[in-house]
Structure 1
């Protein structure tokens, strides 16, 4: 490849970057990992600007499918670890597989530009090197998003985003409006009642609220163990809804609107406490915001509330500040990537970890890492498998189940986990054709 060494640069030291690095290292590929902060962790690195944690945060995915199968979490971890335990696990994973030795910390990537057959990568720490393959893993939760439309009026109180929230102490004695019906919005609304004078929760639609435990098991585990108990998917979903309702998790029983999508048609909201606190009057549900008048927030149903602080839990935009956006093909305001990972117009850069799916980290980390390993081997070897894959990525449009999900910004990159993993394995095997190393496989 124009004399370049067979080396891969990874941008980002969160779980995905570490997972990709592990597979490349074990596969004999030389790796340089660049991390902007002083240590690994990504969104779980509470002490860093990239951290997205707060004092009481716990995982919404259970231990059993968040851990990597061949590197289990400690036995004394609870079914839903807290963010400090998750960070310790991530760093222990990196240490166990030699990723620390390949990492450059405090080395934010400032520019990534095409040069010859590769990419010149330059960092704030003075690194400047050309790589034949770059894997971008800088994460989904980069730039806070606020409501897209300009709402009429002016709000005179404090405005926060979920990324600014570190503990309920900041909300002490305040009348707080949390905006957003995803997991962060629901969790923060529940957390805020510990100190706030009043908590209101604004959502645009009805949601399914899933408890964290059913029959003494983490709910995702209970769902998986249903297996083929029912003849059809529809019968399975109907049974799950019935169980949730009997357990007290039907939002309509608390005066909330009914969801306008099937149970599995959106990223799951895992929260055992929101409806409980709505039922006790600790959280007051509100609809969409219509506008502002000083400290008064007006809602579309004609009601209004005096509010001190608005906290927007309205998601994030992707951000690649080191990369000229014109180098990528876009679909709306997200890159248009084959398998949500592979540009069709570049053969020497990958974007890993840019997808949502109803599952834990462990379900996909290994598969993504082995996909990158086989891609690197095929690229460096200029194999028949590479040529077949490059043709396929321009022509194929594999079904990832995306059209099944509700139409919202975050669901642009939501996928059916099992369809996604199946296709990644299929194309991974295609990449391995003609490779001396053969197909990389693992118990996934």
Structure 2
């Protein structure tokens, strides 16, 4: 089991009576685990999550001279990127839209950095800003205590942290979404979520069904075909497919430029014309477009359009089959809603992820209990009440997380500088 690091010097280790230790006091992980009565007073903000959002906030706070503490349940930073992503993954947007605040990507990185390049960038980011997350600390409950006007954060190991500012940076993709499909337990082949998919050659010569047609589902299908698997893809809903680039310009960058000068409806119309000229008609291949445009759909529902990196050409050539929704599993395969039955060796669930905030944060005014997202829409969804903040819930990827980080750090720094360090109240 991974042992948590000693808390940074900005923390005070307090017994149940809240007798003060010096600011420089540290304590070994073994001692912490052996005494469940101890609590830790955090004089600055506490960040939950050491993914890109949490690291970005930490860097911005460091730059402003505000002490902080990060709690991370895993034993490394960016655990989702390290352990739950496939090897061929690349950033879907150009690197300058994905860099974190205060530190650009290395100039020799390609326009669309690979997974390992992005991880190395994050490692350099942590080293540059001297960010030291407190690993192996899974939060069980976080609740605002109105009697003392501070947040109480309790971990699964029984430790309690008390702070004035709580920053939720666990992100939109904390837990895999596992659909319940009739008969799944009867299927004798492999069933796995994309969080466990690594590379296509593990499925060479197999008949593989990919459930889901978002960016991950499309890319997994492409990887499977490139490794001699026979791939089929379940398309349940309408979706927008856009070229990744238009005349050498990233579609994302073009979209942002259009929105500076045109209404969303007009920008959508222009993008769809470009998509039709470059990709052609998609509906005849079983990929029906929604009635509203991609940018409006993103604003309304948060649903991201697919940026094509070659999958569509394989669908057109028949190398990837588009199939309807699954009705039920049987021992050798699946039955689709149209009554057809097909046999498969493996099924990969590209069914996405969800927020886990409702499972541990005892607060329902700012965060929605149903989906774990802030109730207020972007760009005003980063600050709640009583010192509560949210980062990485914008549905706008790394760019949205960076915007959140800078706003949160600025807001907390203003309070920190005006009121200095607050002492804990005696219980």
Q: Provide the C-alpha distance between the structure 2 equivalents of 1:136 and 1:222, rounded to a whole number of angstroms.
A: 31
Q: 1:72 matched to which residue of 2?
A: 104
Q: Secondary structure at the match of 2:152?
A: strand
Q: Secondary structure at the match of 2:87?
A: coil
Q: Is 2:383 the partner of 1:314? A: no
Q: 1:332 matched to which residue of 2?
A: 370
State which of 307, 329, 348 in structure 2 corresponds to 1:292. 329
Q: Provide the C-alpha distance between the structure 1 equivalents of 2:347 and 2:213, rounded to a whole number of angstroms.
A: 14
Could you tell me how far 1:366 is from its partner in structure 2? 3.9
Q: Secondary structure at the match of 1:30?
A: coil
Q: Provide the C-alpha distance between the structure 2 equivalents of 1:153 and 1:260, rounded to a whole number of angstroms.
A: 37
C-alpha contact 2:139 2:360 (8 A) present in aligned 1: no
Alignment of 1:44-443 (within 5 A): 44=81, 46=82, 51-68=83-100, 70-100=102-132, 103-115=133-145, 116-123=148-155, 128-147=160-179, 150=182, 154-195=186-227, 197-226=229-258, 233-264=264-295, 265=297, 266-320=303-357, 323=360, 325=362, 330-338=368-376, 339-343=380-384, 346-357=385-396, 361=398, 363-377=399-413
Q: Is 2:62 the partner of 1:25? A: yes
Q: Provide the C-alpha distance between the structure 2 equivalents of 1:234 and 1:134, rounded to a whole number of angstroms.
A: 38
Instruction: Report how many residues are paired.
Output: 370
Q: Relative to 1, partners in 2 of residues 1:337 and 1:57: Cα closer, same or farther, differing over 3 Å?
A: same
Could you tell me how far 1:38 is from its partner in structure 2? 3.2
Considering only aligned residues, what root-mean-square deviation do their CA atoms show, in Å?
3.1
C-alpha contact 2:144 2:150 (8 A) present in aligned 1: yes
Could you tell me how far 1:303 is from its partner in structure 2? 2.4
Q: Deviations over 1:154-211 (max 9, x none)?
A: 4332211111111113322221110112111111111111335411000112322122
Q: Relative to 1, partners in 2 of residues 1:213 and 1:350: Cα closer, same or farther, differing over 3 Å?
A: same
Could you tell me how far 1:62 is from its partner in structure 2? 1.4
Q: Deviations over 1:369-402 (max 9, x none)?
A: 2332344346658xxxxxxxxxxxxxxxxxxxxx
Q: 2:13 matched to which residue of 1?
A: none
Q: 1:440 matched to which residue of 2?
A: none
Q: Deviations over 1:183-242 (max 9, x none)?
A: 11111111111335411000112322122222123222344455777x654343223222
Q: Provide the C-alpha distance between the structure 1 equivalents of 2:419 and 2:361, rounded to a whole number of angstroms.
A: 36
C-alpha contact 2:192 2:347 (8 A) present in aligned 1: yes
Could you tell me how far 1:39 is from its partner in structure 2? 2.9
Q: Provide the C-alpha distance between the structure 2 equivalents of 1:226 and 1:113, rounded to a whole number of angstroms.
A: 43
Q: Provide the C-alpha distance between the structure 2 equivalents of 1:39 and 1:319, rounded to a whole number of angstroms.
A: 19
Could you tell me how far 1:28 is from its partner in structure 2? 2.2
Q: Provide the C-alpha distance between the structure 2 equivalents of 1:152 and 1:269, rounded to a whole number of angstroms.
A: 28
Q: Relative to 1, partners in 2 of residues 1:291 and 1:243: Cα closer, same or farther, differing over 3 Å?
A: same
C-alpha contact 1:287 1:300 (8 A) present in aligned 2: yes
Could you tell me how far 1:140 is from its partner in structure 2? 2.1
Q: Provide the C-alpha distance between the structure 1 equivalents of 2:161 and 2:179, rounded to a whole number of angstroms.
A: 40
Could you tell me how far 1:145 is from its partner in structure 2? 1.2
Q: Provide the C-alpha distance between the structure 1 equivalents of 2:257 and 2:364, rounded to a whole number of angstroms.
A: 45
C-alpha contact 1:106 1:125 (8 A) present in aligned 2: no
Could you tell me how far 1:146 is from its partner in structure 2? 2.4
Q: Provide the C-alpha distance between the structure 2 equivalents of 1:326 and 1:70, rounded to a whole number of angstroms.
A: 32
Q: Give the gaps of 5 or more residues in structure 2.
A: 1-17, 21-40, 298-302, 421-427
Q: Deviations over 1:279-313 (max 9, x none)?
A: 22221001111222322312123322111211111
What TM-score, normalized by structure 2, do the two folds share? Answer: 0.76
Q: Secondary structure at the match of 1:350?
A: strand
Q: Provide the C-alpha distance between the structure 2 equivalents of 1:251 and 1:89, rounded to a whole number of angstroms.
A: 37
